[in-house]
Amino acid sequence: MTTLPRWSLAVPPVALVVLAVSYGQSLGTVLLVLVCLGLAGAVTAAVHHAEVVAHRVGEPFGTLILAIAVTVIEVALIVTLMASGGEKAASLARDTVFAAIMITTNGIVGLSLLVGSLRHKVQDFRAHASGGALAVITALVTLSLVLPTFTTSTPGPTFSGSQLAFAGVASLVLYGVFVFVQTVRHRDYFLPKSDNGVDDHADAPSNRTTLISLGLLLVCLVAVVGLAKTVSPTLESAVESIGAPLSFVGVLIALLVLLPETVAAVRAALRDRLQVSLNLALGSALASIGLTIPAIAIASLWLTGPLTLGLGPKELVMLVLTVVVSTLTLVSGRATLLQGTVHLTLFGAFMFLAVNP
């Protein structure tokens, strides 16, 4: 990994060109095909450059970089859309964060468990690391998305200003402590138990190559988010044509934005590095809550209109079921085809109910 393949250098700027040409335009057939190709290329290149950076800095820093980079850009997109969306965007942050939690904890985790167990039958991971991450996720989502449904200071599933400030500070504290534990205090907890199929003796990329890959990774992620936003009107029309609620567009955009992490997690599972897959999935869920809620709390100082954060009854049931199943999956430190199937079934239920609430 001392040199970068030519395609990985060419795809990010090409994706940005496609974004510049298509942004704000009505997508005809040709532009729609170009946007889809640019999106697929940007996702592929993002995963490649993330692996280059991860190989240089080591685990779990590599997965942390990808998770935080994706989430920072996603948060910027949410705040931008909320600033221009008015009352229609009141629940955008809640819907996006909840979709990210369901996609990561059930979709990415389930797919990683499934493909990994099909190839390796049984996969081992560090239960104390993944269990700790799940505990933080549960605390964050309860403080940020469950409590607003039951508070009484303001009408509806909303927070008062002081309550939102407390949730934002608590989210930053919990996420900051988790990152410190993951990267400093107990870094060894988050290292993969197995390195089967990985060449540990491969030369690490140079500092120059790593910096180039880091820059191109950010370019790819900007392209992924921008192209996802560009294609959203087409998705919105398709959603309306099948009679699904408008909130389902947010789910589809979250799926597109999380594609780089999904591909990277599946590839790690195929190499029998399930801990890396779990670091990516659970780390992305943590970053989504831990960075979005503080950003929304700050943005609320100038944003007008209501800010709906509390989950509805259907979402609460799915959340409780996800936490219970995830706990049972992660407590053993071993995973088989069964656990992967259960998580993917929950993800399928989430997607089905998002279309047919």
Q: What is the mean pLDDT of the chain?
A: 83
Residue 179's CATH number: 1.20.1420.30
- What is the C-alpha to C-alpha distance for residues 13 and 102, in angstroms, rounded to an integer? 32
Q: How many domains does the chain have?
A: 1
DSSP string over 323-340: HHHHHHHHSSSEE-HHHH
- pLDDT band at residue 140 under the 50/70/90 scheme: very high
Task: Tell me if the bond preceding 155 is cis, omega within 30° of 0.
Answer: no
Q: Which tens digit of pLDDT belongs to each residue from 265-312? A: 899 899 888 888 898 899 888 888 888 888 888 887 777 767 888 999
- pLDDT band at residue 1 under the 50/70/90 scheme: very low
Q: Which tens digit of pLDDT belongs to each residue from 111-133? A: 999 999 999 888 888 888 888 99
Q: Specify the pLDDT at position 84.
A: 58
Q: Specify the pLDDT at position 111.
A: 95
Residue 298 included in any domain: yes
In 3D, which of 275, 285, 290 has the Cα closest to residue 106?
285
Residue 1 included in any domain: no
- pLDDT band at residue 44 under the 50/70/90 scheme: confident
Q: Which tens digit of pLDDT belongs to each residue from 206-242? A: 888 888 988 998 898 888 878 877 877 777 777 778 7
Q: Which domain holds residue 55?
A: 6-355
Residue 225 included in any domain: yes
Instruction: Please provide the size of the chain in residues.
Output: 357
CA pseudo-torsion sign 332, 114, 182, 168:
negative
